[in-house]
Structure 1
Amino acid sequence: MTPGDRQRVCIIGAGASGMSAAYALSQHPDRFDVTVYDKEGVAGGMATSIALDADKYGAPYINDGVQGCSPAFANTMRMFRMLGFELTEVGMQISFGKGDDFWTNVFPTALTSEFQADIVKFGRVLKVIKRLEVMFTFIPVHAMLKMFRFSTDFGEKMVYPLVALFFGTGNQTPYISCAILERVFMDPSMKLFEFSEKSLLASIPTMLAFPKLHDCYQAWKDDIASRGNVTFKFNHEVSRVVSRTSKSMDGAVQIEYRVVGNGLETDPKLVHFDQIIMAIDADSCLKLLRSEATFFERRVLGNVKYLYDVTVTHNDLAYMKKYYEVQYNPSHNAPLSDKTPDKERRQAEEAFEFASKNFRPLYYTMQYPQDKSKIEMSFDLTHYQPQFRGEKPAGPIDPSDTSGHRHDNLPVPDVARDAQKDDHGQAGTSVRTGQDAQRTAEPPLERHVFQTIFLDRDGSSHLWTADEIDKDKKIHEKWWKQQSHRWQHYAGTVPWMMFINGKRNTHYAGAWSVLNMHELAVTSGFAAAYQLGADYPFKGDENCERLFKLYLALSHGTRMRKEDRNGLWA
């Protein structure tokens, strides 16, 4: 590459990490010439939207695969807001278990009373894990529970479902690093809720539901492409990385791709680049690298374990009632005795009263009776996603409001302006004959859209109850490939990423490099682009920089550049 030439960068994958890398590189049209390849026809990766019959269910679409995030996910929120989309606040109510195994964060139950001693001890153990995090990174959850002599039932009925639900660890939860437990309660960048000595989870934390992801990613793509130095090639499948150290004047990186789609497939074509960002899952990286993968890459990337899950989107209320606690039942209230302190009694009674009027879970889990370490998960998408209450696809954003980084990327892409129109929230109005806790119209319970996730095909499919869902009430079925957060991941992959990132003109991006979260996917893409010389888009925003700095250190073994730091140790 001669002085003054733009670096030619290939990005494989147009999910959250690939789009973030493309966005950061697009800010420098004089320095980078970027091509993004994705075998699908649209951007988004796992962040997809599918159409619904609005006259039947009360909304014209659902977000499928990715539902929302924590308010701590600053990079995701700022990126969406800049594009003209806003996330919607929802109360994160959870319904764990069924019958005698039921507990929730909405009101104290008999189960939380039974495990009172374990819950108090769990709070102390979280502090120990935080102090000795490096050591506990390599200790699986099931070993930690035995180490501190927690009861088996406490682990199976409370700890495993809690971690599985919010980190997507599924039926591998007993084998994940127990350091994740501390992160979910204490890490400011990943924290989901406060710990409670009485009920494990304190109150009802605020979650953020995503706007229409299809439109958001389309607007993201349009914004990136508007600067002229990024080309998107959808329905283009990279089939092989031929070389990453070629001496060719055309570029060190050579890839082979085919145009696919609509049952058609072209002959393979070869193209050259200077650098490559692999924003795809770890085993897909190895499949493309083939013999090009170094011994170390094969060890680090090959250590990431993937599981296969299937989600069934449906409207089968009878199925939900059979396996989950869908509605408030006072028989589950924690027992109160004459010895219960007055303050505790008053708080419990207030919680019971609140639940009797406002119990509306977003998340559900169920342990299989044959093996209570394995679970099934469900969502009530009608409770979770705001379009079922008449919100427009862009979310609750005022087009004239430019505060809080809204519309930083003026002009707003056309798709974002269209998604901001109030009349788009009217679809399905005739079905919204019920009310939520705030008296906002929503479909009645029998019209709700649920999504049930059946986990770990290879290890748990013999336990699945998917065939019990009424076929006439199934809306959509989709298979997913999910990363396992087993403790080996934090021993054999996470600490070694810095030694393969940036080598042989190759950078890796994806939430799999640390933890399966949309926020980490976004941050990983920014980090890969930053290592190529792009600016961090949100420099100076402390909330955004916090996780970015941690990710740079962990996955790239570096700090922000001298000109981007405030102080010697920043």
Structure 2
Amino acid sequence: MASEKPRRRILIVGAGAAGMAAAFAFSQHPDSFEVKVYERSSQPGGMATSVPIDRTKYGADYINDGVQGASPVFHNTFAMFDKLGFTSSEVDMQVSFGRDAETEFWSNVFPSRVIDQYKKDIKRFGRVLKIIKVLEPIFALISVSTMLRMFGFSKGFGDVIVFPLVALFFGTGNQTPFISSAILERVFMDPNMRLFEFSPESFLASVPKMWAFPRLSYVYNTWKTFVESESKGSVKVITKREVIRIKRLSNVKNVSDSVEVWSRPTKGTNDDQEVVNPGEEEKEAFDDIILCTDADSALKILGDDAGWLERKILGNVKYLWDATVTHSDQKYMEKYYRVAYDSSLESQVDRESPEKQERFKFAKENFRPLYLIRSHPEDKKKIEMSFDLTVYQPQFDGESPFGPGGKPVVGPSVSEAPNAESNAKDVSTDKKHVYQTIFLDRDPESSKLWSKGDINQDEIILEKWWKQQSHRWQHYAGTVPWMGLINGRRHTYFAGAWTVLNMHEIAIVSGFGAAYQLGASYPFTDDPECKRLFALCLAANHMSRMRKDDRAGFWS
């Protein structure tokens, strides 16, 4: 009788969206894989964290920090939430750009006087989007600032309209002028990324629906418990442990004990990742490793074992450090942003038209921007952005941290939320608004413009530093097209939003893709909306297509 095939031993480094997605995929095959997930922090989730706040001051007892919500086209994210028993809450995506009525302010909620100034640019922009779509491979290598010059757009149109919009979508901040033009086009025309409907009259024609996430700490703790339970113990998510270095012993596929890994315990805090005891290093052997970290950390772990291509492709990813201040300083927000409706902001061109009157009326009654963006007067290409979390996040309206009708499939989420069903009792209009202001790029040229010191120290709830990926055009020339050359080589896989685009959805799909390449099933094969993006990312990250049994056409 033939002996039973041994389970393949996999190490996943990082328990963010990519790592947990890979862990979930493997958990569906407990007889085939033995998986460990090492996370250096004390909680899974990566950037998707939740922070407790004072309910008596702010009307809610937590905020989601780092990840807020998503476009309705984040199908894999919502399918994963549904598996775990969580739902998301619908919210209007209202945006306030700039403050000065005559030179800066505009919004997707109603046409403004600034939009009047750029009528010719806006009409031309619609035609240019179609050109970029047809010639996308070329424009992927052309920066937004270069594209604007190529087509003769006015400087003000770029500074006031285009750059703040791109910064909003991709968190690109002061690198916005260097973003790939193809990414800008996809904001409007790609069904997997599109949020806004373009209007040749008002630039943005609608107030699209967004989905605000449930309490992410509960989501990811439930996710951890679920994969460990579902896998019957074959998947273990281990927090407070970091991987120091690895050594790969074989280039041959399906060879066992191919990767030696050294790891050690950490204190597990966000601010202090020091090891508990440097002498507690442990050496283990795995068949394959999936690095679900940022590209810089992946290179550090690979160390001297990194190949030339790995150093070239991963080293091309540029990161920036941003400071985030969560606060309740209303005076600061009113000084630098438009947080309330003012009829003097309204467009003066054809203002009596029924369509414009209808939008003015809607804005007067409903203007509550959840995104607020401004350019620095000294350098319009440099951006500051804020969120009104009280408007954005549903717990401030009394929603359950599990989402509308949500019921986690496993603990410990339920026991952690004794007040989950009574949030509405504490909702009050006299509570302070909670804002989150992001000061982008700490390099001297940018940080000297920061107004961070103007925020009242007594109103500050939390300060954090974030490492953010830049989507400059070089990323789409030197990293994204070549990931398939290093993914799967030497028993090593790379996953994370940085492999394509900095979105929670991409992170999840990239994790599924790495697990899929190792033989796990894609969990949402029956959902064509989910499968569309998965097939695209599989092609981008692995130069591969779905297995024959999983696809109907050539790709999916």
TM-score scaled by length of structure 1: 0.92
The answer to whether 1:111 aligns with 2:114 is: yes
The answer to whether 1:30 aligns with 2:31 is: yes
SS for the counterpart of 2:192 is: coil
The corresponding residue for 1:140 is: 143
CA distance in 2, matches of 1:106, 1:15: 34
The corresponding residue for 2:8 is: 7
Deviations 1:447-470 (A, max 9, x none): 100000000101410110000000
The answer to whether 1:326 aligns with 2:339 is: yes
The corresponding residue for 1:424 is: 420
The letter of the residue matching 1:382 is T
1:24-423 → structure 2 map (5 Å cutoff):
24-99=25-100, 100=102, 101-226=104-229, 227=231, 228-245=233-250, 251-261=257-267, 264-267=276-279, 268-336=281-349, 340=350, 345-397=353-405, 399=407, 412-417=409-414, 423=419
The answer to whether 1:455 aligns with 2:456 is: no
CA distance in 2, matches of 1:186, 1:331: 32
Runs in 1 of length 4+ with deviation above 6 angstroms? Answer: 246-250
CA contact (8 A) 2:141 2:476 kept: yes
**Distance change (3 Å), C-alpha of 1:169 and 1:249:** closer
CA contact (8 A) 1:59 1:428 kept: no
Q: Which moved more, 1:199-208 or 1:542-551?
A: 199-208
Aligned match of 1:467 in 438, 453, 475? 453
CA distance in 2, matches of 1:514, 1:44: 19
CA distance in 2, matches of 1:566, 1:115: 46
CA distance in 2, matches of 1:415, 1:395: 16
The letter of the residue matching 1:45 is G
Deviations 1:252-302 (A, max 9, x none): 101111111176234211111000000000011100101100001100000
The letter of the residue matching 1:366 is R
CA distance in 2, matches of 1:460, 1:147: 26
SS for the counterpart of 2:51 is: strand
Deviations 1:155-201 (A, max 9, x none): 01010000111111111000010101111111111111111112211
Q: Which moved more, 1:495-504 or 1:327-336?
A: 327-336
Deviations 1:347-392 (A, max 9, x none): 1112111111110000001110000000100000000000000001
The corresponding residue for 1:438 is: none
The letter of the residue matching 2:355 is Q
The letter of the residue matching 2:410 is P
SS for the counterpart of 1:191 is: coil
Task: Indicate the percent of aligned positions where both proteins have the same amino acid.
Answer: 54
Matched pairs, number:
541
The letter of the residue matching 2:428 is T
The answer to whether 1:552 aligns with 2:545 is: no
SS for the counterpart of 1:457 is: coil
The Cα RMSD (Å) is 1.8
CA contact (8 A) 1:138 1:488 kept: yes
CA distance in 2, matches of 1:369, 1:285: 38
CA distance in 1, matches of 2:423, 2:87: 19
**Distance change (3 Å), C-alpha of 1:58 and 1:500:** same
The corresponding residue for 1:402 is: none
Report the CA distance between 1:154 and its aligned residue. Answer: 0.4
CA distance in 1, matches of 2:46, 2:36: 17
Query: Where do 5+ consecutive residues of structure 1 fail to align?
Result: 400-406, 435-442
CA contact (8 A) 2:148 2:158 kept: yes
SS for the counterpart of 2:311 is: helix
CA contact (8 A) 1:256 1:271 kept: yes
The letter of the residue matching 2:192 is S
Deviations 1:279-328 (A, max 9, x none): 00001110010110000110000000000001000000000000000100
CA distance in 2, matches of 1:349, 1:488: 44
The letter of the residue matching 1:450 is Y
CA contact (8 A) 1:313 1:450 kept: yes
Q: Which moved more, 1:464-473 or 1:186-195?
A: 186-195
CA contact (8 A) 1:54 1:428 kept: no
CA distance in 2, matches of 1:534, 1:366: 45
CA distance in 1, matches of 2:13, 2:351: 60
The letter of the residue matching 2:399 is E
**Distance change (3 Å), C-alpha of 1:528 and 1:363:** same
Aligned match of 1:535 in 513, 521, 524? 521
TM-score scaled by length of structure 2: 0.94
**Distance change (3 Å), C-alpha of 1:103 and 1:254:** same
Q: Which moved more, 1:455-464 or 1:479-488?
A: 455-464
SS for the counterpart of 2:412 is: helix
The letter of the residue matching 1:213 is L
Deviations 1:199-235 (A, max 9, x none): 2111100000000000000001110000211112210
